[in-house]
């Protein structure tokens, strides 16, 4: 990814949550048409891109609390999908891949109806797995637009998952997806 692939805005908004005022910054990536708010107490970093594991998804951006005592992460990813692939099939394939790739991967909740992401029909998964002896709990929500799946993965230690979830949900709810126009200079 080039240095100009994303822009970080210094705009902030205030939100009152049980008497706490949190400042939110805006992350914008014009290359992928992504706009999301994140807490000023979290940092953003470019995602790992495509890890060339045969997986077609690209990790666009990662967010995590600046507090080093937290293991929370929120990643936004984009994946290519086959023409006509629906959410149900995409989720089924994703779960199958995760069961192969992640140790002790289990899904505790899976839904492909009644959810939205950036105003589009979406799926939602709650899952857990083990990595290098450490347990993780995660939430994934995503939508398909054209031949792209846009999805968000929130992962945390099981003991902190629920306490960070309201803030993470605000981030997820703020996601906006805008069409990406490719300029043809002919």
The reported pLDDT for the residue numbered 57 is 83
- The predicted-structure confidence for 106-150, as pLDDT tens digits, reads as follows 999 999 999 999 999 999 999 999 999 999 999 999 999 988 999
pTM: 0.83
Q: What CATH superfamily is the domain 43-174?
A: Mog1/PsbP, alpha/beta/alpha sandwich (3.40.1000.10)
- 87 or 47, which is more confident? 87
- The predicted-structure confidence for 170-186, as pLDDT tens digits, reads as follows 999 999 998 776 554 44
Residue ranges per structural domain of the chain: 43-174
Inter-CA distances, 12 with 24, 31, 62, 67, 153, Å: 5, 22, 19, 20, 23
Computed over every residue of the chain, the mean pLDDT equals 85
Dihedral class, residue 160 (left if φ above 0, else alpha if ψ from -120 to 50, else beta): alpha
């Amino acid at each position: 990814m080039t240095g100009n692939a994303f822009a970080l805005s210094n705009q902030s908004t205030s939100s009152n949550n049980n008497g706490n005022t949190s400042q939110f910054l805006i992350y914008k990536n014009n290359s992928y048409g992504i706009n999301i708010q994140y807490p000023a107490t979290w940092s953003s970093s470019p995602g790992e891109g495509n890890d060339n594991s045969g997986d077609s998804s690209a990790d666009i951006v990662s967010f995590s609390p600046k507090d080093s005592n937290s293991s929370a992460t929120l990643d936004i990813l984009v994946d290519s999908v086959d023409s006509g692939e629906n959410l149900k099939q995409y989720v089924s394939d994703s779960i199958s891949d995760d069961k192969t790739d992640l140790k002790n991967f289990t899904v505790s909740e899976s839904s492909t109806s009644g959810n939205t992401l950036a105003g589009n029909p979406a799926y939602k998964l709650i899952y857990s797995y083990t990595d290098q002896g450490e347990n993780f709990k995660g939430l994934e929500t995503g939508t398909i637009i054209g031949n792209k799946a846009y999805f968000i993965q929130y992962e945390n230690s099981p003991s902190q998952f629920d306490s960070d979830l309201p803030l993470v949900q605000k981030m997820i709810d703020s996601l906006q997806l805008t069409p990406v126009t490719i300029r043809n200079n002919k």
